[in-house]
Structure 1
Amino acid sequence: MLIKIVFYSVILVLAFWGYRYFSAPNHQLSVGQAAPYFALADAKGTLVNLNAFKGQWLVLYFYPKDDTPGCTKEACHFRDDMHHLEKLGAKVVGISVDDSASHAAFAKKYNLPFPLLADTSGKVAESYGALTHIGPLNIAKRYTFLIDPAANIAKAYFNVEASTHSQEIIDDLTRLQRG
């Protein structure tokens, strides 16, 4: 029994280390650069693309996995702060490599009022530098991009703390809009 505990502890430590190591950005998008185009299905199977958000601010956040503790915390904070974000003219969109059915269950369970997009191929996450490979698995990194009304990157977040990130976005968006 002790051998199993030690074995699984070592596996967890290696998995955590591996995720942190491979979560470093492969390439970083620069402020002012055009946001990479995306067109992905939401939880209902409806295609959502970047052009639908032109003329408004977009909080585009990538997250590793539906219904996991950190991802749930981050999504629920965005949900709880939606009225502040909407007052600032911003929309929120989440993207992970999970499929639409997984997103639908996650959104329903936590009453998430914003679209979750299924990037099952990982191509969109990769175009934002937000994809990591752990063995045969593709996982989205916890990165966020604040995209301005002209569809350019206004701010990029590579070190996201799930419990405070939504407020960080609100603060930065307020500063950016004030110039």
Structure 2
Amino acid sequence: MLKNFLLLITALLVSLLAFRAAHAAPVPTPGSPAPDFTLSDAKQEQHQLADYAGQWLVLYFYPKDDTPGCTKQACSFRDDLFQLEKLGAKVVGISVDNANSHAKFAEKYKLPFPLLSDIDGKVAEKYGALTNLGVLKIAKRYTFLINPKSNIAKTYLKVDTSRHSQEIIDDLKQLQASP
């Protein structure tokens, strides 16, 4: 009896996940306008897409503050920030963590760029970067390179945290060299 009950629960969970995956928002494609957002950072200051108009924006979504992969990714952006800014790019991170969690994470690793709180996951959903398991919402590790006209220039849906920042630097150089 217990075995049948567990099988039923497992089947329901798999069905729910498949349903949610089938109904997830699409990922914006290169050339399309970047979805607008207004979110607060760790200091409760508002950031919106329009704040970055006229410059390149590396908008990266990540699952959780102070976890190994997210820390490696954030620290790589920190370490390469001079090169990114030299190419005219700003870096902004987004997760569903709250402002207090972002503040501790940024302080611990001396992150000099904003981490925005998307607690309800609405912005991540607009970018197709939300895993929504009902009561549990997690941002996927997706990055969007947004051009100075606020259009998606490139999407990164499979991120290798050990080389992601350098990959973006290389792509920025290539995109800026193109006519």
1:14-63 deviation line (CA, Å, top 9, x unaligned): xxxx8xxx6xx751211110000000000100011100000000000000
Mapped partners of 2:144, 2:96: distance in 1: 17
Mapped partners of 2:103, 2:131: distance in 1: 24
Say yes or no: does 1:87 pair with 2:86.
Answer: yes
Partner residue, 1:5? none
Partner residue, 2:41? 42
- Which runs of structure 2 are paired with 1:10-89 in the superposition (5 Å)? 26-89=25-88
Secondary structure of the residue aligned to 1:95 is strand
Amino acid aligned to 1:110:
Y
Mapped partners of 1:167, 1:75: distance in 2: 13
Secondary structure of the residue aligned to 1:70 is helix
CA contact (8 A) 2:94 2:116 kept: yes
Task: Report the Cα offset of residue 136 of structure 1.
Answer: 1.9
Amino acid aligned to 1:127:
K
1:39-89 deviation line (CA, Å, top 9, x unaligned): 000010001110000000000000000000000000000000001001100
Q: How many residues align?
A: 159
Unaligned runs of 5+ in 1: 1-17
CA contact (8 A) 2:27 2:129 kept: no
Larger radius of gyration: 2
Mapped partners of 1:97, 1:135: distance in 2: 14
Partner residue, 1:155? 154
Mapped partners of 2:25, 2:80: distance in 1: 30
Partner residue, 2:135? 136
Unaligned runs of 5+ in 2: 1-16
Partner residue, 2:11? none
How high is the TM-score relative to the length of structure 2?
Answer: 0.85
Task: Report the Cα offset of residue 133 of structure 1.
Answer: 1.9
Secondary structure of the residue aligned to 1:174 is helix
